[in-house]
Amino acid sequence: MSRWTRLLSGCTLVGAMLVAGSPEAAKLVVAGRDGGYGKALALAIGAYEAANPGIEVEQLALPYGGLYEKLVINLREKAGGIDVVMLDDTWATEFMAKGWLAEMGEADADFVAPAVAVSRYPYPDGTLYALPFVGNVELFAWRRDLFEKYGLAPPTTWTLAREAAAVIDEKEEGVDGVVFRGVKGNPIVTGFLPILWSFGGRIVDEQGAAALMSPESLEALEFWLSLKEYAPEGIETYNSSEVRDALQQGRVAMSIELWPSWAPSLDDPAVSKVAGLVEINAAPGEKTGPAPMLGTWLLGVAADAPNAEAAKDFVAFVTSPEMQKRIALEVGIPPTRASVYGDADVVAKYRWYPNQREALMNARPRPRITQWSKVEAILGDYLQLALIGEMAAKDALAEAHARIERALSR
């Protein structure tokens, strides 16, 4: 047993620092993302190797599509060349249902509950097949100074947000009321989901059948389309870089979507004209409470991992509170441990972390279906057709529902 991992005979897996022993000598192969997530893994790998001299860890840092393809081929063919896998929570249902991941015991109570739920199959309370590594959650940003200037109520509901957007758009020269991503596919869907959910709409029901065509979904779509009036010209082509730039340059009052990796630059006066003026919190509610979208990345162990026990030990180490804090402070990757969001050192660096924790606690995952990528592409196409005025909201919704229904039946 490693000094970093303890499997309790009851139901708890704790990535705690123990004092005795270390895993047997082994070489672990970890397949994960590139970019910031890759840097976080590299930091953890270095620390793990230092704590376990008998272990060598090889890191495969891959882009999103390349990682998915490599994992599917390797795990499907039982090639046995990978020990630890990093996966988007939208892949989890497929990987777990097909028996590609090893069971992980249980997660302790310090993990954020919605992130643990997507680490299980069946969702949300089945067997644990992974531990949550990256606590990504969709956030909402708004200019506190402009709301105070015009005596506007904080945007706790989408209706209040739209009312504020209208006022600021009209009265504040050079500032649009709201911004969002209008590019079809994942970007446009991601921004729409918290609105859809908070109006009571859904894409599929509990049985995995298409459920998009409903009065609640139509109301949500019509509301979302109404925001275009207060958005920058050309919103249909806006993606992440345009949204971030509009926020940092002070050209918008609100963004319906902000991700944790975007947030630090807003407080950096070297690049931001609104440093300290932007509030960051969970998306507004409407008919239901806030329903921000969960974007968790998980760490699991391949079912045919050559070094399964050492791999589980590594996963526990990387997701331990100590390592999660270090990764947050040194790389800026959001943790999945509730305790880290309240840590004084972390909050001193990221003032919005208590709000981010609240958003995570209320976050909703994308539908737990194996066909999510197809469903997302269909919905994204029709959302943009409605946004550019090529289809009426009701027609776009009905056609999207019909195509999703066909996709789910295959």
CA distance 111 to 135: 10
DSSP 8-state code for residue 332: -
Q: Do 142 and 178 form a contact (C-beta atoms < 8 A)?
A: no
Helix (H, G, I), strand (E, B) or coil at 157: strand
What's the number of CA atoms in the CB half-sphere (13 Å) around residue 293?
23
**Cis-peptide into 154, omega within 30 deg:** no
Ordered by start, the domain boundaries in the chain are 6-136+294-361, 139-293+371-409
Q: Do 189 and 383 form a contact (C-beta atoms < 8 A)?
A: yes
DSSP string, 46-110: HHHHHH-TTEEEEEEEE-HHHHHHHHHHHHHTT----SEEEEEHHHHHHHHHTT-B-----B-TT
pLDDT of residue 23: 53
CA distance 175 to 169: 6
CA distance 139 to 295: 11
Q: Which residues of the chain have pLDDT under 50?
A: 1-22
Among the listed residues 151, 174, 173, the one whose alpha carbon sits nearest the alpha carbon of residue 164: 151
Reading the block at residue 122, the tokens are 């069946």
pLDDT of residue 2: 46
Phi, psi of 299 (to 5 degrees): -120, 125
Strands (E), 119-209: 120-121, 127-128, 130-134, 139-143
pLDDT of residue 20: 33
Q: Do 48 and 55 form a contact (C-beta atoms < 8 A)?
A: yes
DSSP 8-state code for residue 324: H
Q: Do 247 and 258 form a contact (C-beta atoms < 8 A)?
A: yes
Reading the block at residue 20, the tokens are 């005795």
DSSP 8-state code for residue 229: G
CA distance 274 to 259: 17
Among the listed residues 55, 62, 110, the one whose alpha carbon sits nearest the alpha carbon of residue 86: 62
Q: Report the CATH architecture of 6-136+294-361.
A: 3-Layer(aba) Sandwich (3.40)
Give residue-wise pLDDT tens across range 67-83. Answer: 999 999 999 999 999 99
Query: What is the maximum span of the chain, computed from C-alpha positions, in angstroms?
Result: 67
CA distance 196 to 241: 24
pLDDT of residue 410: 85
Helices 215-226 and 372-387, packing angle to 10 deg = 50
Give residue-wise pLDDT tens across range 29-65. Answer: 999 999 999 999 999 999 999 999 999 999 999 999 9
Strands (E), 179-312: 254-258, 278-281, 297-301
pLDDT of residue 10: 29
Cα Rg, the chain, nearest whole Å: 22
pLDDT of residue 24: 57
Fold assignment, 139-293+371-409: D-Maltodextrin-Binding Protein; domain 2 (3.40.190)
